[in-house]
Structure 1
Amino acid sequence: MNRNQKIVLAFANTAAFLVTILVNYLASTLPLNQKTTGEISALYDNLFVPAGFTFSIWGIIYLLLAGYVVYQLVDAFRIQESNTGKGFTEKISFWFIASSLANCLWLFAWHYEVLWLALLIMLLLLGTLIVIYIRLKQPTDTASAIEPYLVHLPFTVYAGWISVATIATLVRCLSASTG
């Protein structure tokens, strides 16, 4: 992949991340369908719902992802003409953009209380993060000492949380359908 293509991917990743942050912000401040994400969650209370404070992990996840976005932008502009290998940006950009889209779509399905659609979208989000995780486990030609922290860690934490959130969404769907 040439440098210009890598720069385009880096900007596409950045745009996807910024849209995700904006949609998440608006979902809580507008809020979508006149309810916050937490208010929807409270409507479907069950024994598996994590305590409210655990949702603060989103701040950590978005901070880690912001680190990734900045790092991949810097990496795209780094001049390394001799390196022709496939780095992390090329390996995961499509999947990162897909995960960002799934994150946004989930908010709409959740806020409009289409729980089974929210579950399907959550499974899609989890799937994209698993693909990213697997692709990042493959060695790259451009790995640096900081890459584990700014590339691998954000997606490991994100995938871990979405694994829990997927189970929570499934339980909510089941409890909502059984009354």
Structure 2
Amino acid sequence: MSAPTRADRTRQVAVTLAEVFCVLGTLVGTGVLGTRVAESSGGALAADATLLAPAGPAFSIWSVIYAGLAAYAVWQWLPSVATSERARATGWPAALSMVLNAGWLLVTQQGWVWISVGVILALAVTLALLVARLTRLPASGRTDRVLLDGTFGLYLGWVTAASFANVAAALATTGLQVSRATAELAAAGGLVLAAAVGILLARELGARWPVAAALVWALGWIVVGRTTDRPESAVTAAAAAAAAVLVVVATARLRSRQVPTR
């Protein structure tokens, strides 16, 4: 095991500072230091604001993701990990994802919903690139697999779904008036696209179950939201359910074609 270089130490410090910033952003977004996300931006991001918004309990997945990010920030300081290929490959994009996460929360506090769309799309791309690096560098053990592949897989899957909800929220702020049928058709189209992105991620990133699980989790809570809360929409619920099934089937089929290594 080689000694950490200056570049390694710089990366470790950057990840740690990014994690601190991410925690502060989370405190703002949860209402401890600011306004809860559901109540910011004029309520545009609330669970009942648009057809593509998941029901409230869906957001509990953040507890798992945030715990994983905190553990990652500690893990990357371990002497046996500091110079590993995976730590070096993921450190900077992980730090960037934390900064973008906190940035999104701060932007929504200002009511800048369209800017938040740009931030969350940048976050999704960053996470996709990070997980692609994990695909090229297989895990060295169970801890590595759970902490990195699990955390960042869930992170990517959730942010992918959240990106569509964010776009829907931004469109809603324009005040554009459309018929119910048009709104439902647009929502169904968005869900078809979400399923397509989920299938693409499965094909390109090794059919990772954490990615699929988080995406399906979000889609499932859209079903719950549209059948138990306003705005109710059987069409949107059916489309979300179909999208979830497509992602699961595609991931399972792609997974069956490879040697299980993750």
Contact 2:81/2:87 (8 A) holds in 1: no
Contact 2:25/2:106 (8 A) holds in 1: no
Contact 2:75/2:81 (8 A) holds in 1: no
Counterpart of 2:161 (choices 141, 160, 164) is 164
Q: TM-score, normalised by structure 2?
A: 0.59
1:24 aligns with 2:26: yes
Q: Higher mean Cα deviation, 62-71 or 123-132?
A: 62-71
Q: Deviation string for 1:3-39 (max 9, x for gaps)? A: 13323322321221121011211332221xxx32121
> What RMSD, in angstroms, separates the aligned Cα atoms of the two structures?
2.3
Q: How far apart are 1:163 and its partner, in Å?
A: 0.6
- Structure 1 unaligned spans of 5+: none
Secondary structure, in 3 states, of the residue corresponding to 1:3? coil
Corresponding residue number in structure 1 for 2:172: 175
Corresponding residue number in structure 1 for 2:85: 87
The 1:144–1:50 alpha-carbon spacing in structure 2 relative to 1, beyond 3 Å, is same
Counterpart of 1:63 (choices 58, 61, 67) is 67
- Structure 2 unaligned spans of 5+: 178-262
Q: Distance in 2 between matches of 1:69 and 1:93?
A: 9
Q: How far apart are 1:79 and its partner, in Å?
A: 8.5
Q: Deviation string for 1:128-163 (max 9, x for gaps)? A: 1001010111126x8234211111110000001101
AA paired with 1:30? Answer: L
Identity across matched positions, percent = 25
Corresponding residue number in structure 2 for 1:36: 36
Q: TM-score, normalised by structure 1?
A: 0.84
Secondary structure, in 3 states, of the residue corresponding to 1:73? coil
Corresponding residue number in structure 2 for 1:132: 130
AA paired with 1:163? Answer: T
Q: How far apart are 1:2 and its partner, in Å?
A: 5.3
